[in-house]
Each structure stands twice: as C-alpha cells, then as structure tokens.
C-alpha cells in the first residue's frame, strides 16, 4: 500500500487499517524510511514556510523569522520528531505489561509511527499562520492511538482506555520536552529578532 492510500485509510477507517497494520511485517528502519521521515517532514517544512517566508501577524503587526533561524528551527523540529517516535515506542512497549498487553517493540513502534498521522498531516496548515488554528484537527491522532494501541499491543478492552490515557500523558510530557529543545534552535527573544 502506498503512502497516500495508507494515510487515507488510517484516517477514514482506522479500526480496519490498524488490524491490517497489526498483521504486516515491517522493520523499524523501513517504517522510518517509508513513513515517519516523510510525514514528519510536513509540519517542519510547512512551519518553516509559514514563519520565515509567509510570516505571521497579529494586532496590526507582522513578523517573520529569519531564514537561517527558521531553517534551524525546522531541522531541529524534524530531527526531534524522528527521535520522539522512537522514544514514544519505548514508552508504549514498556507500559504494555502494566495494562495486560504484550511487550513487543515492533508493534509499539508501529503504533508510534502510525498514530501521529493526523497530526503530521494537519501540520500543513502551518504554511499560512492564519490557518494554523486548523492544526487542532491533528487531535484526531489521539483517537487513532486509542483505536490502535489495544489492537497492536494486545491490551484487554477493559484496560485499553487507561493504557491510552497513560500513554497520552507520557506523550504530552515528551512533546513538551521536545518543544522546549526545539525552541533553543530559534535565537533571540521568543524566536524573533
């Protein structure tokens, strides 16, 4: 299945698509190369274009981040996103036995790689800062996680919700840390010169 078909299927028919993904043979390297590296680039590139080329504004003032600062931030965001997927998979795998699931790093990595699909796709809205509020559509990734986590990690239905909530909390903490690290790539006060 190609990237576009898979993205469409996981968004529109997540339960059926997670069942297919659960039975597929993948490698971590293959998932990175054919999925994660491509989709994780969308918000990084769109954010660069939106902040450094298009620019943003509010209260009658407009601003743009310098090209080099924007590029540094985009690269940092992209690399940290790639690393976050791996760390998120480690968290998912480590927590599985606590919620009656099976420890299986490859299945955990599949969850970590495919669950953020909606967030990565919604990152395209960063191209136009005025539309960036539509990035909220990326919250659909939480539902994708909820549907996929028990299927791939074999957590019993009665523990699936709690498992998902704990993984989401861990993911939020991870995102905050990644955001703080990425912010260091923007020089100057609040990333502006």
Which of the four pLDDT bands, split at 50, 70 and 90, describes residue 131? confident
Please report the pLDDT score of residue 179 as a whole number.
77
Say yes or no to pLDDT of 24 above 80. Answer: yes
Per-residue DSSP letter, 188? S
Domain residue extents for the chain: 3-191
Task: Quote the CA–CA distance of 65 and 50 in Å, as a whole number.
Answer: 9
Tokens at 79, concatenated: 């690399």
Helices (H), 24-66: 28-31, 37-39, 41-48
Residue 111 vs residue 134, higher pLDDT: 111
Contacts of residue 34, defined as CB under 8 A and 6 or more positions apart, other chains included, come to: 3
From 11, 19, 13, select the one nearest 151 (Cα to Cα). Answer: 19
């Amino acid at each position: 299945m190609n990237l576009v078909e898979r993205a469409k299927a996981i968004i529109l028919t997540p339960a059926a698509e997670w069942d297919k993904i659960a039975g597929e043979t993948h490698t971590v390297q293959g998932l990175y190369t054919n999925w994660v590296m491509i989709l994780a680039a969308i918000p990084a590139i769109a954010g660069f274009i939106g902040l450094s080329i298009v620019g943003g504004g509010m209260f009658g003032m407009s601003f743009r981040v310098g090209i080099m600062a924007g590029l540094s931030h985009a690269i940092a965001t992209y690399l940290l996103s790639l690393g976050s997927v791996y760390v998120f998979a480690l968290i998912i795998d480590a927590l599985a036995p606590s919620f009656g699931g099976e420890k299986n790093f490859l299945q955990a990595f599949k969850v970590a790689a495919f669950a953020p699909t909606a967030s990565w796709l919604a990152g395209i809205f960063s191209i136009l800062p005025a539309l960036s509020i539509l990035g909220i559509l990326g919250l659909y990734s939480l539902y994708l996680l909820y549907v996929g986590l028990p299927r791939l990690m074999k957590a019993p239905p009665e523990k699936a919700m709690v498992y998902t909530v704990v993984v989401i909390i861990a993911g939020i903490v991870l995102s905050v840390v990644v955001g703080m690290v990425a912010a260091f790539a923007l020089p100057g006060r609040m990333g502006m010169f």
